[in-house]
Amino acid sequence: MRTIMTATPGGAQWRVRVVWQPRWRKLARRFGGWRSARRNGRGGDLGGFDIPTGGGGGGGGDGFLHGLADDIVVAIAVIVCLIVVGALFWWVLLPLLLLVIDMVVVVVLLAVAIPARVLLGRPWTVEAATAAPDDGEDYFVAEVVGWRRALRTRDEIAEKLRLGHPAPVVGTLRHRG
């Protein structure tokens, strides 16, 4: 959502915007729980990899050593190919796949959430914030039903602040530290 930056005649900088945030902050904090499973070190065992040791029958005196050398070269080539393919997958293909999946999830959530929010009449949060003396932030919050009405309220608050009103006339004062 577009943020309007405005200044009062006294020089205080205000940021006025329409915020869309989850109503249940606990729900938002729950995302990321998968990280604990990753930290616990649940990984698969790659044991049981068998490298051929050579040979086969065949006549001749050096057939066994020649076959063993070929098998070792093939095993090294297979290991190098697995490392290259694994690195390519890990640093190129997997990030691209995750990026595509993230974009699809965001698009689906927006396609479902915005109409649901509009149809259910959930209010939009209009916030006007300024820096506080204690390195925190003082802000006013107003709940407004309707997207266009929220944008009009945002514009009205920014205009009133620019004209010198001491604080937005709607909403409640809060402090973030």
* Cα gap 169→16, rounded to integer Å: 13
Count of the separate structural domains present in the chain: 1
Place of tokens 């204690």: 134
Residue 126 buriedness (CB in 10 A; 0-12 / 13-18 / 19+): buried
Residue 131's domain comprises 4-21+122-176
Q: N- to C-terminal Cα distance for the chain?
A: 23
**Residue 46 belongs to some domain of the structure:** no
* Nearest one of 176, 174, 144, 167 to 14, comparing CA atoms: 167
Q: What's the pLDDT score for residue 45?
A: 47
Whole-prediction pTM: 0.48
**Residue 157 belongs to some domain of the structure:** yes
Q: What's the pLDDT score for residue 166?
A: 66
**Residue 92 belongs to some domain of the structure:** no
pLDDT in tens, the chain (177 residues): 589 999 888 888 889 999 876 555 545 555 555 444 445 554 444 455 554 555 555 555 555 666 788 889 999 999 999 999 999 999 999 999 999 999 999 999 989 988 887 788 888 888 888 887 777 777 788 888 888 899 999 999 899 889 887 665 555 566 565
**Residue 146 belongs to some domain of the structure:** yes
**Residue 147 belongs to some domain of the structure:** yes
**Residue 109 belongs to some domain of the structure:** no
Q: What's the pLDDT score for residue 43?
A: 46
**Residue 85 belongs to some domain of the structure:** no
